Structure 1
Amino acid sequence: MATETRHPLLSVVVPVYGVEAHLHQCLDSILGGLDAADAAEVELIAVDDASPDRCGEMLRAYAARRPTVRIVTMPSNVGLGLARNAGLDEATGRYVWFVDSDDWLPPDTVPAVLARLRTDRPDVLLMDHLRVHHDGRREEDASSPLLRGVDGCVRLAERPQLLRVQHTAWNKVVRRAFLTELDLRFFPGWYEDIPFSHPLLIAAERIAVLDGICYHYRQGRPGAITSTRSDRHFDVFDQYDRLFGWLSAVRPDDTGLRAELFALMVSHLLVVVGNEHRMPAELRRPFFRRVVEHYRRYRPAGGYPRPGGVGGLKHRLVAANSYLAYSALRTAHRIAGRLRSAGTATASTEPVAVPAEQPGALAGRQ
């Protein structure tokens, strides 16, 4: 008599590239401390994305001691998004969680996640995180308050602020069959989370929130996308084209949703162009021009919720295609930040209000 194959509740997919200093911390934080019942509900799929360091060797040694760890080896480097797809193809769990290999989970996170999945059976489980800096400083993300006070399961229409939670893959556990229903995959290129994360929340019938710190997001690691000056940051425009293409296909008449996503897009693009750790100075003007093009291409006919303060002023300068004024404002804002920093030890050198990655207040319509 044939026996039915039992699949785990959770597949954790970990793409691995150039992180030998952090790899064991990441893997141990996922599998460490699980009791027998929870351990049986978790599989870990590590994708060696042709890592140039010792990561492949470390993964093989790690998997040899742990039967719930499987390794997918890419013959050549394909990048984060396609490596996640390769891991997803091997996943057998009812839910999948994409964890980046330079980050790690706080103790008891996996049991808490499993418990919520069993209780609520959501399409998407959102969770909170902390940003951890190289000096050990930890800070709450600006989007964290948006996760408070959500009981049981909701739809985005009931809690629209959830669309402004940081648009990453790693702060979401997703029902695998739901991904299949949406035919949702990661695209190549940087900023691959954009056309993946937003559709999840838009299409989900059941969104649950685990209002606790479930993820430690490492900041400033050399080699990380957000710490690398490169023309590959221009990939973000293709990713937003894919997002708005998806929206036009599945929600062509949802003007409110389009306006909200447009506001988030413009604010996010302004973060990228203004960040000296990402954008080479000689590429800032051509990137700004591309922001203007996307502004004109996707601006809703009925206007959109524009942020207040300096962020809103930057939106206006994009609308006016005024790079010189934007550059002057950016310089003045940075000088003011340095002066504040010199005056108070706790001041930030460059305050950032980022609805797409760190949501700011939305006010008014443009």
Structure 2
Amino acid sequence: MKAVVLAAGKGEGLFPFTQKEQKESITVLGKSVISYVLEGIKKAGIREAVVVVNENGKQVQESVNVDLSLEFVEQKRPGITGAVKDGMEKVGEDFLLAFGDVIADPEFYVSLMNIYAMGARAVFSLVPVYEGLQTYGLAKIVGDRLEVVKEGSTLALAGAYILPYGDFDDLLEYFSRISPMAKYFIWSGNWIDIGFPEDLINAVEMLLKSAKTIVSNNATVSKTALIGKGVIIEDGAVVEDYAVIKGPAYIGRDAYVGSYSLVRDYSSIEEKAVVGAYCEVAHSLIEPYAEIGSKSYVTYSVIGKGARLGASVITSNYPAVIVRGKVNKLGALISSGENISHGSVLPPNFKK
């Protein structure tokens, strides 16, 4: 069996960030979002996948570091139905359909294949959700069968399916048509659909929750620095004098944390990102090559690839915002390559 992975969406919930950076190529704990999907597919035993992309497909392709046979296809037909058809015609048989913006444990995909191996023609993954139901496709269990519905359920379609090859005009209509003969499983492990900035912040927390302290022998950590529990420090990273990394936290390859800085509470400093001296970073995702100027305070924020915050920049995360029916905090969403002037105090929910 082959997989079809969808990575052609515009990522409108992450605008303006995704006007420069394709959502599936965003880095979280050293891996692109789509790499989490592809690693799960590989663990499930699939070795070939068609990845459907848009005009930013090169970003997605360059972000992948998974040993799979991949064919990248630019979407030609409109909408999500068109994307599935563009991928499916390259496969020509029953296939695993995966959305490229879901971060989940690899066992999520293994469960799908295990049920298929028991003789199922189609398999659906479901996940319980209790907020923002209108943002998901939903399914309801009626007796011993599954029904795809628009409301009246708290089970969301979880973004990975095994589908029979066939013709259809609308993907959800096709789901409804085949659901009575489909098997399903309800996933209760790690799972998050990346649709909004807050989802990226929550993904960092989800992935670091069970982290154990691992400090690479090839990292340079000052003897006066303090490293807490649940801290991962990768090869080539530098942590300067009197810096405090209070876990859970991730310091990526060749990243730099300056003297007297504090990185804490589910933060991820990605590859070659720089945090200057006397900074505080909390609950934030700092993308590769981004720079945080000295004496800055960054919390509940996503800072894009190569973005630069000047010295003494402050982000604010109150008042909170409602996302998918849940109260969320967002300090700032700074797009790739953007610059923030020295001494800026950014209002809550700032986006550039």
What band does the TM-score fall into relative to the shorter chain?
0.3 to 0.5
- Larger proportion of helix: 1
Greater relative CO, 1 or 2 (CA 8 Å, sep 6+): 1
Larger strand share, 1 or 2 = 2
TM-score, normalised by the number of residues in structure 2: 0.41
Q: Compute the TM-score of the two structures, normalised by the length of structure 1.
A: 0.39
